[in-house]
Amino acid sequence: MTANAGTQRPRIGDWLALAAFAAAVIAVAAIGAIAVGGTAEQYNSLAQPSWAPPSWLFGPVWTVLYVMIALSGWLAWRKGASALVLTVYAAQLVLNAIWTPLFFGANRYGLAFADIVVLWILIVVTMVLFSRLSKLAAWLLAPYLLWVTFAAALNFSVWQLNT
């Protein structure tokens, strides 16, 4: 028996936890997919800044990001993330899920911007908390933070151009 055997989670638990983290991000993605169903035309009809990406780009980018978000949470969990750390992680997922229905479903661009600003803050807090447990878990969230930064700027621009 190793010295830290008592702190190791069982292998089957690791796989179940990974499945749980994957399920959480799949749920967030599903909420977004349902909210944006048929909204490419709506997105394209909005006044947008010249640097706005085409609507087809969002799906592939978010797919990669969601995989990284799930792996990040799982790695932090494996390193013993506390309930508080996992609550912050879950809170940013909830804000992520809320953004798409606010922006596309309700056309509440200002409220969506407020949501994404708080989301950005929670991603930073999550990265700081994760970095204390696993540098890799924290760095896996860096592309997510960058994309949300870009999305916040786009959200703000669309809000200003369409009010």
Instruction: Assess if residue 130 is contained within a domain.
Output: yes
Total-model pTM: 0.88
What's the pLDDT at 139?
A: 98
Number of domains present in the structure of the chain: 1
Please tell me the distance from the alpha carbon of residue 100 to that of residue 52, in angstroms, as a whole number: 16
Q: Residue 97's domain spans which residues?
A: 8-161
**3-state helix, strand and coil shares in percent for the chain, rounded to the nearest 5:** 80, 0, 20
Residue 89 located in a structural domain: yes
Residue where the block lists tokens 């292998």? 11
Question: What pLDDT score does 148 carry?
Answer: 98
Structure token pair of residue 75: 């790695």
For 75-106, how does the pLDDT look when each residue is reduced to its tens digit (9 = 90+)? 999 999 999 999 999 999 999 999 999 998 88
State residue 145's pLDDT score: 98
The predicted pLDDT at position 14 comes to: 81
52 φ/ψ angles, rounded to the nearest 5 degrees: -65, 135
- Amino acid identity, position 46: L
CA 92-97-99 angle, to 5 degrees, is 95
Specify the pLDDT at position 44.
Answer: 83
Look up the CATH number of the domain holding residue 97.
Answer: 1.20.1260.100
Tokens, residue 108: 């509440």
Q: Taking Cα atoms as reference points, which of 115, 93, 125, 99 lies closest to residue 24?
A: 93
The answer to the question of residue 145 being in a domain is yes
What are phi and psi for residue 54, nearest 5 degrees? -70, 150
Per-residue pLDDT 10s for the chain (163 aa) are 444 545 554 577 788 888 999 999 999 988 877 876 767 777 888 999 999 999 889 889 999 999 999 999 999 999 999 999 999 999 999 999 999 999 988 899 999 999 999 999 999 999 999 999 999 999 999 999 999 999 999 999 999 999 8
Q: Is residue 53 one of the residues assigned to a domain?
A: yes
User: Quick one: pLDDT at residue 31?
Assistant: 86
Instruction: Output the pLDDT for position 38.
Output: 66
pLDDT at 7: 56
Quick one: DSSP state of residue 9? P
Domain membership of residue 71 (yes or no) is yes
Domain presence at residue 157: yes
2 in a structural domain: no
Whether the CB-CB separation of 32 and 62 falls below 8 Å is answered with: yes
Q: Which residue has the tokens 């999550």?
A: 126
- Contact yes or no for 27/97 (Cβ under 8 A): yes
Instruction: Assess if residue 3 is contained within a domain.
Output: no
